[in-house]
A and B are shown apart, each in its own frame.
Chain A
Amino acid sequence: MPSPAPVAVSSARHPSGRWDEAVLLVAALALGLGGFVLTTINRTGSQPADVLPLAGALVAVTLVVHLWVRRTAPWADPVLLPVAVALNGLGLAMIYRLDLSYERTGDIHNYGTKQAVWTALGVLLFCLVLLVRDHRMLRRWDRRAMWGGLLFLILPFVPGLGTEVNGARIWIRVGPMSFQPAELTKVLLAVFFASFLVANRDNLALAGRRVLGINLPRVRHLGPLLVVWGASILVLVAQRDLGSSLLLFGLFVVTLYVATDRPSWLLLGAGLFTPAAWFAATHLSHVQQRVTAWLDAMDPEVFDMPGGSWQLVTGLFGLASGGLLGSGWGEGYPNLVTFANSDFIVAALGEELGLTGLLAILMLYLVLVQRGMSTAMRLRDGFGKLLAVSLSFTIALQVFVVVGGVTRLIPLTGLTTPFLAYGGSSLVANWVILALLVRLSDAARRPAVAAPQIIDTAELPTSIRRSVLDADTQENSPEDAAENAAGHSPAPTRTKEGS
Chain B
Amino acid sequence: MSLPPSYAIRNVTARPARSLMTAGVIALVVVACTLFLGLISSLRRTLVSSGEPLNLVVMRKGSDNDGSSQLTLEAYQAIKYLDGIARDADDQPLVSPELVVQPFFRTRDGGRENVLVRGVEPVALQVHREVRIAEGRMFNPSSAEAVVGRGVMGRYEGAALGDELQFGRGRWKVVGVLDSGGSSFESEVWVDVRELANDAKRPFPYSGIRLTAASPDAMAALERRIDDDPRYAIEAQSETAYYAKQAESANALYVLVVGIAVLAGIGAGFGAANTMYAAVQARTAEIGTLRALGFSRGAILWSFQLEAVALAVLGFLLGAAVAVLLTKAIAALVGGVAFGARTFTTNVVTLAVAPGDLAAALVLSLLIGLAGGLGPAWRAARLRPIEALRKA
A binds B: no
